[in-house]
Structure 1
Amino acid sequence: MLFELAPPFGAGPIRIGMSHADAHAALEALGTPEVYGSGWVVHRPSSGASVFAYFDKHQVVEAIEIYTPVAGTDEWDRVLWEELDVFATPAEELVAQFRQRTTVIEEQNGHSYTLPKLLLAFWRSIKPEAEDDPGGRQFESVLIARPGYYDGPATTPGDA
């Protein structure tokens, strides 16, 4: 499936501001929703991807996260922001593209990047340790959030 990131509106069939019931129905189209913290997750066995919907205290979607452990397979759920394939594009190239457009905040020694004005955040579990090290070349997770999500103190998704 193709998930297009469309800040501030949503990703794929899930929309920021969706009610609990509407988000559940949208997630059911992707698989079987399971409770995950203050939200739901759908695991997609064909690709290994997971799609999370996090809710605020009013029980509306405030953030959507897509995680994939492996990029570039034929069965993989693709995630695009404009023309960029966010999981197939090397992380350093993706960050360079974003730096041309907006402020990019590097955190966790290059494991995490937040783009507050675009309402996006990217994460990877490891970074390459050498030029020929294949690990950590791509991001594993992208989070799209509601406007204002990055304006306050840091929170765990769903806590605001």
Structure 2
Amino acid sequence: MLFELSPPFCAGPIRIGMSHADAHAALGALGTPEAYGSGWVVHRSSSGSSVFAYFDKSEVVEAIEIYTPVAGADEWDRVLWAELDVFATPVEELVGKLRQRTTVIEEENGHSYTLPELLLAFWRSITPETEDDLEGRHFESVLVARPGYYDGPAATSGDA
């Protein structure tokens, strides 16, 4: 499946500001929604990907995350932002292109990158240890957030 990211509005069929019921229905079209912390998650058996919808104190979607365990697999969900394939593009190349457009904050020794102006965040579980190391060359997760999400603790704001 193809998920197009359009921050701060949506990630695929999941929209920022959706109610619990609407998010459950949208996720239901992707698989079987399960409760997960303050939200819902669908684990997609066809691709191994997971799609999360996180809710704020007002009970509306404040962030959407898409996770893929194996970047570059034959049967995986594609995620595009501004025509960039988030999981297929190597981290160094993707971050370079992102830095041409906005401020990119690198955190956790290269595991996490946040783009507060675009309301996007990217994550990978490991970073390559050597030039020849193939592991950690691609992101595993991307998050789309609502305006204000990066201004402070998400739990303090009920705005969607």
Does structure 2 retain, via aligned residues, the 8 Å contact 1:38–1:159? no
Q: Structure 1 vs Structure 2: percent identity of aligned residues?
A: 83
**Per-residue CA shift, 1:46-101, capped at 9, x if unaligned?**
11100000000111000000000112233210000011000000011110001001
Q: CA RMSD in A?
A: 1.1
Q: Which sections of structure 2, spanning at least 5 residues, go unmatched? A: none
Matches within 5 A, 1:2-151: 2-151=2-151
How many residue pairs get matched? 157
Q: Which sections of structure 1, spanning at least 5 residues, go unmatched? A: none
CA offset at residue 151 of structure 1? 1.1
Q: Partners of 1:110 and 1:151 in 2: how far apart?
A: 21
User: Under a length normalisation based on structure 1, what TM-score does the superposition of the two structures give?
Assistant: 0.95
Q: Partners of 1:74 and 1:134 in 2: how far apart?
A: 17
Q: Partners of 2:132 and 2:47 in 1: how far apart?
A: 26
**Per-residue CA shift, 1:92-128, capped at 9, x if unaligned?**
1110001001000000010000000000000000000
- What SS is found at the alignment partner of 1:117? coil
CA offset at residue 159 of structure 1? 7.1
Q: Partners of 1:125 and 1:71 in 2: how far apart?
A: 12
User: Under a length normalisation based on structure 2, what TM-score does the superposition of the two structures give?
Assistant: 0.95
- In structure 2, relative to structure 1, the CA distance for the partners of 1:65 and 1:30 (3 Å cut) is same
- In structure 2, relative to structure 1, the CA distance for the partners of 1:20 and 1:134 (3 Å cut) is same
